[in-house]
Chain A
């Protein structure tokens, strides 16, 4: 149970393939159902705006899950992700349009750890806004 990437083949600074995720209202509705998080701010624009949010916002956990795909796709084995933590630094508004919101995620190896593990730091942005801070995964490499 470890990644298809070899520890010896990565250096601090090794970049992971970046990905762009398009988030639409339907994705949030689907995530509500799969996660059980039916907080109205993720599907009801009227209430989201009434409580001071710019629009319906994506679940933090949805954004976290999308960003994590940059790590799992790179690692080969999603089970190689032994730790994953983020701070949600800005809401991800998802307007009611056909375009959706683009989430751009970059990642790079930040640290080589003992036991063939590496720490990967992620950068997740909507436009210029960083929506995750301190986003770091620890991955068990081969």
Chain B
């Protein structure tokens, strides 16, 4: 069943904030097998000019799943079958590195839904800012909904 194109342009502001902790960064770095000390050692991070440990460049993917449950992906009206979904593209534009102590909020929006052969592509943008309004990063993601394009 094709995705509901009415979702293009819809914006979702997550009500909750996300507090980045040293332990969350450590856990993510461990999961990707990366022992770079900037992620776990405060002194090493400071030696690089950061006020606290920083997160790996793809860490903010955690937020997209943290807030997915309040976003378009799980809205039954969109008609997305998650088992048919694979990740098509992803881009991170960092305004500054994420670091321990950041309290973040996200606004996500559906940028586009289009056919690509038998599949459909849904592109979302997630803007990540601190609760003080400092821009941290913009994430662009494209999901592939396999085989759901209208015949």
A interface, CB within 8 angstroms of B: 1-2, 21, 27, 30-31, 33-37, 39-41, 47, 51-52, 57, 59-62, 64-66, 68-69, 71-73, 76-79, 81-88, 91, 134, 137
Contact = CB atoms under 8 A, between A and B. Distances in A.
B10 interface: no
Nearest to A136: B91
Contacts of A85: 89-92, 140
A83 B91 contact: yes
B28 interface: yes
B83 A47 contact: yes
B87 A61 contact: yes
Interface of B: 27-28, 30-34, 36, 38-39, 48-50, 54, 56-58, 61-62, 65-66, 68, 82-94, 96-97, 140, 146
Main secondary structure of the interface of B (DSSP, over half): mixed
Given A1-B48, A84-B92, A36 B62 contact: yes
A83 B94 contact: yes
A78 B39 contact: yes
A34 B62 contact: yes
Nearest to A82: B94
A68 to B, nearest CB: 5
Contacts of B89: 85-88, 134
Shortest Cβ-Cβ A-B pairs, 3 listed:
A85-B91, A36-B65, A34-B31
A52 B119 CA distance: 14
Q: Which of B32, B66, B83 has the most CB of A within 10 A?
A: B32
Nearest to B26: A34
Contacts of A83: 91-94
Contacts of A73: 36
B91 A72 contact: no
Given A36-B66, A37-B61, A57-B86, 16 more contacts: A1-B49, A1-B97, A27-B33, A35-B62, A35-B65, A41-B86, A52-B146, A60-B86, A65-B56, A72-B57, A78-B56, A79-B54, A83-B93, A84-B58, A85-B91, A86-B91
